[in-house]
Structure formats: structure tokens, C-alpha cells
Structure 1
Amino acid sequence: MTAELKKAELHCHVEGAVSPALALAQAKKYGVDTWHFIEDGSYVWKDFTSFLHAYDRTAGLFRNEEDYALLAETYLTELAEVGTIYSELIISPDHAESIGLGANDYVAGLAAGVEAARAKTGIEGRMIVSGLRHKGPERVEWAATYALRNPHPLVTGFNMAGEERMGRVADFVRAFEIARDAGLGITIHAGELVGAESVRDAMDLVRPSRISHGVRAIEDPALVERLAEEGTVLEVCPGSNIALKVFPSFEGHPLRALHDAGVRVTLNSDDPPFFHTSLAREYEIASTMMGFSDREIDAMTRTAIEAAFVDEATRTLLLSRL
């Protein structure tokens, strides 16, 4: 039974983890009308562009350190209640700057929430600074430079998210070099809305240890073989992929094929309430719709811990909890 399995997550956007109930409470706090992006207790969007709009409107309901502490603590506590021992939250200093909060206060608020959840439940959490691809190379480099100049013990990785169909991977290489110089773990969104060439470019140019999504690699057998040989970990988000119509059904999703080809894969929720999912549901989908055994799912969790952007003492402790 997947409900009894320990769980770990490497890929969840923190503002994308806001439940509609929490969003409505925040909207009431700030007097914001939500009719155009929350209806009947659910987020409303129809394609990737409108999803980003709903995401941004929801993010705009969090405006100070206390709001972000509440968000991180709430989400991580929910994860712990279903047996999750580790979570990495993808965060956006760009968003903090855009609302006038400031990146330092944003990170401080989130860190307070991470620490509160750990004190209450024992769950370990880390943060992954992300640049937004659709804002262009300069802003992605700004996010990396921010992480370099403002080290924080709970900020352990760097990612690039946003609209994958904009720009070339080559345009953003310098940002990843800055992040690598900061000692951060490297991952990158690729192979979600764009095909296998996006994954190949990421591997060639960015050299990440992990790839966010990466599932379109299935379109190129040689690339799948390379992923397996190099041990690059894929942060797979099946519920997100189906919601965004990257694949038509869970039965047609390539997680099983990638796994059976020897690719190191993990289970993740991405932006769970926006996609009517949760980490627990992703584990259940892997079991009931994709035919993975509990032993295979446990191995994916172990892979997530092995690939986590944590110090070795923490990794050893987490592995002992499996």
C-alpha cells in the first residue's frame, strides 16, 4: 500500500503548492477578488499560459515573511502527514522582488516555515532558487548571482523554470556557471513542453545532475540510453504532465518505459493543487495506473534521497529512515 510508504519529493514550486483553501484565506486577508482564477474551490486555467496567470495571481496573495512562513509550514506539514521525510521547494526570488518584499525577506520567511515544519513533524526541507526562463538570460543570471551573494544553509540548489519554448538553453549557460560556483546543486526544466532536443541541450550545455521533467527524452532512444548511462536523475511529475496534455493518459506516460530502460526516475507533484494532485496521489498513480510494485516505488524514493541537494550527514540520516 503506497499510503504506508515513506516518500520524498525533489520538484515542487512553492507558490504552486498553495491549496485553494489557503489562497482564499489569503485573498480574504488582503481583500482580493479571486473569481477569475479560483472557482468552486478549484484553480481555473485552460492551457500553460493561463496556468501561469493563475499561478502568478495566487503567488500575489503572499506578501510578507509571515505569509511565506505559513505557506512553507502548511505544505511541508501536509507532506509529513502522508509519510514524506524530505522535500525540496523551488523558490523564485524574482517574484519576491516583483512584489516589493525583497528576496532576503522571502527566503527568511520560507526558511522559518521549513524549520517550523521540521520541529513539528521531523520532515527535512531545502530550497532551490529558480530563474524564470521567460524573463530572459539577464534575470536568470540575476537569480543565480543572488544565490551566490546571499548563501543560506537551506538554499542548496539552482533551477530554471518558466516557459520552456522561449530562448535557447545556450542563452542561459552563464547563470548555471554562477550557480555552480556558488556550490549549488544543478537541475533544469527541460523536456516538458519541448521535445528530446531540450533534454539533450541541457545535458550538453548545463551538465545537470538532475533534470526537471525530462520525460520527452522518450522520443529519442539514444538519449534515453545516455540518461541511463550517465545516471542523470529525472524529476518526473506524471499528474502535471497529464494535466498539461504533455501525454494523453497515465497509461501512455513514459515513466515505466524510462524506468525499465535504466533511467533514474523519481516521483513529484510539481504544482499539486493546480493539477488536482498531491505527492501521495503521484505515488498511488505509480502503483495503480502504471503498475509499479511497492519495492520499485521505494527504490524511486531512495533515488530521490541519493540525488537530493543535501549534505552527506543529512543524506545518511534520511536513507536510514527508509
Structure 2
Amino acid sequence: MERVRDLRQLPKAHLHLHFTGSMRPATLLELADKYGVHLPDALRGGEPPRLRATDERGWFRFQRLYDIARSCLRSPEDIQRLVREAAEEDVRDGSRWLEIQVDPTSYAPRLGGLIPALEIILDAVRRASRDTGLGIRVLVAANRMKHPLDARTLARLAVRYADRGVVGFGLSNDERRGLARDFDRAFAIARDGGLLAAPHGGELSGPASVRDCLDDLHAGRVGHGVRAAEDPVLLRRLAARGVTCEVCPASNVALGVYEKPEDVPLRTFYEAGVPMALGADDPLLFGARLAAQYEIARSAHAFTDAELAELARQSVRASRAPEETRQRLLADIDAWLAAPPSQEPHGLSAPSRLGRPTG
């Protein structure tokens, strides 16, 4: 078997991770027992639930599972635990910089309101960063299922905390609902306040949703964006503008966007010059964390170690990390590639490759 380098040792930035979705399965079980929350079998079974969100019923089931998991986060201590454990998992997978995405309105009712919720989250981020050595920042995300005025409120709040750890503004939930342009004012507020615009698009909907992110929201990064592969003109536009797509291969397959890992258009993007930042999305529901996404690129798309190193560089360049941090990470990526391959194959363990949760 060909000798390869350990992907968990490859320095990288993690730019697409949702807050509740970052939780360890074992932590969810403990918190559910603590608060008397009944978890459906899909969240108790020890394996990722079977999901297919390409139709409305499937997306509703996915969202329901996510909402149940989120209901188990009820105290500042729960928030601190989630962020600390997410940071620990990222460090284990070679992440050196994490931008975690959160809609604080989802946690506000149990944490004393919108502002206290965001402050508790940011405090947890600072503590986890200090304790693990992982650089962590926050993207505040609006929910496209809610009124655009709510998004404007969140954008103003995000700008207010731009000097305390918020680096970007996103838009999540079912991209088939509502129009991107309905949220243009919220994104203008965020951009004017110095925040990165990073809306979701091009996963459940086709290339048009990616164009809307570019035209209406002036996206600097696009969450997912994989359906742009269906439009060569759009691919050239993304490449020319250097807009990074936060591609999450395991979740694309788990949600039924593609039938198998080989179908995710990693090669198409790479060869078109579209920068990518591989992300885990919601490992609680999809089972695979960050290093497993790179393993998919290696095993399903035959990416060489040199190409995997370039993917890691693209993630670092697209991050909001300080320039000094970026340069250090890029040098460490070069060092990883310069080191000789291991004597034994260093792919991920079979459970990670198969997308099973590791607890």
C-alpha cells in the first residue's frame, strides 16, 4: 500500500461548522438525560441518522433532529462544554483555526436574551481558545426562514461585537425558501461593519442560488456552493473572483445532494481553480469530522498529498485569521508536505472514513 502522510497532522482551517451540530454524540446523550429530553432513536443509536433532505419532508426531519439537539443546550456551562469539546475535536483533526457559525436567537430564550446569549457564546469561545490553543472566531448567522428584519437585527448585533470575536455574517437553513435579495440590507450592514459575508447557497438549490449569493449579498465566501459545478460560466466567475466555497463532502452525501462521495465535485472545483475550504458542517448528524473530509478527497477523488496540502492552504487563505497566523499556518503546511510519508499507511480509521461518530 502506498505510504501517505497523516491527514490529522496536516494543519488546516475549519470554516464551516455549525454550533449545535459540532456536539459530540455522547455529550448530547448526557445533556438529554440531565434535562429529561426525550431523544428519538435517530439521535440515540450511535450512528448518524439516515437523512435525505432533497425534498421538503426530508429537510423537515433533519431540522427537527437539529432542533431537538439544540434544546439540550440550556446553561452557560453547556455552551462552554460544547465549544471546548468542539475545539478539542478540531485540534485532534489538525485544525489550527476555527470559525464556528451560530444563530444566537436560537439560544436566547434559555440564556437570558439575545445579547446575553451572544456574550455567553463569545466567552465560551475565548475560554476554549485559551485552553486548547486553537484560534476560534464566530460567524453570526441569520435564518432565512425568519423575517429579513430579524436578520438586520442580528447583523447590527454582529457588527457591535466585531472587536470581540465575530468575524462574519451568514445565512442558513433551507435555501429553497425565500430569496437572497430579501436579506441584502442585513448583509450590507454586516459588510459596512467590516464583517465577511458568508451565506449558504448552492447545496439544496442549483447554481442560481450561488449567483444570488454573489449578486445580491456580495458573498466573500459561499457555504457549500457545490451546485455551481453545473454551470461552467459560474465556476469561472468564482475562480476569477477568488470566492471560496465551503465544501462539506460528507454532509452532501448524507443529505442526498449526491449519491456517493465520488459524486461530490471536488475535482471539478479544483481543476477550475475555485478555492475550497473543506468543512464538517454538522458532525453530530453526519458523523464525519474535519479530517474525514480530507480523507474523502484522498480516497474518493485520488487527491495527492500535494493537492491535499493545497486544499489546506486554500482554507487558511480564506479564513479571517490574522496575517501572522496565516503565514505561520502556510509554513507549517509546507513542512507537513516536505516531511517524508510514514512507513505505514496513515489514513483515518475505518469508522471515520465511513462517517460514523466517534463520540
TM-score when scaled to structure 2? 0.85
Q: Identify the range of structure 1 (28-37 vs 214-223) with the bigger mean alpha-carbon deviation.
A: 28-37
The residue that corresponds to 1:17 in the other structure is 22
RMSD, aligned α-carbons? 1.7
1:6·1:85 contact (CA, 8 Å) conserved in 2? Answer: yes
1:261-280 equivalent positions in 2, closer than 5 A: 261-280=272-291
Q: Identity, % of aligned pairs? A: 37
**CA distance in 1 between partners of 2:118 and 2:25 (Å):** 23
8 Å Cα contact 1:65-1:108 kept in structure 2: no
- How many angstroms does 1:112 deviate by? 3.3
Write the deviation string for residues 85-141 of structure 1: whole angstroms up to 9, x where unpaired: 111100111212244532333333333333333333321111100000011312222
Q: How far has the Cα of 1:274 moved from its partner?
A: 0.4
Are 1:27 and 2:38 matched, yes or no? no
The residue type paired with residue 208 of structure 1 is A
Give the match's secondary structure for 1:234: strand
Within-5 A mapping of 1:1-322: 1=5, 2-35=7-40, 37-42=42-47, 44=49, 46=51, 47-322=58-333
Q: Could you tell me how far apart the structure 2 residues matched to 1:17 and 1:251 are?
A: 25
| Higher alpha-carbon Rg | 2
Distance 2:249 2:96 in 1: 21
Post-superposition offset of 1:236: 0.3
What is the TM-score with the length of structure 1 in the denominator?
0.94
What are the superposed Cα offsets for residues 17-72 of structure 1, whole Å, 9 maximum, x if unpaired?
A: 11221001111221212135523224546322211111111011111222111100
How much has 1:258 moved relative to structure 2?
A: 1.0
1:44–1:54 contact (8 Å) kept in structure 2: no
Q: Identify the structure with bigger relative contact order (alpha carbons < 8 Å, sequence gap 6+).
A: 2
Per-residue CA deviation, residues 227-256 of structure 1 (Å, 9 max, x unaligned), is 111111110000010001111111111111
8 Å Cα contact 2:48/2:287 also seen in 1: no
Distance 1:315 1:3 in 2: 18
State the alpha-carbon separation in 2 of the partners of residues 201 and 40 from structure 1: 39
Measure the CA separation in 1 of the matches of 2:31 and 2:127. 20
One-letter code aligned to 2:211: R
- In the alignment, the residues of structure 2 paired with residue 154 and residue 84 of structure 1 have an alpha-carbon distance, to the nearest angstrom, of 18
The size of the alignment, in residue pairs, is 322
- Structure 2 Cα separation of the partners of residues 101 and 53 of structure 1: 23
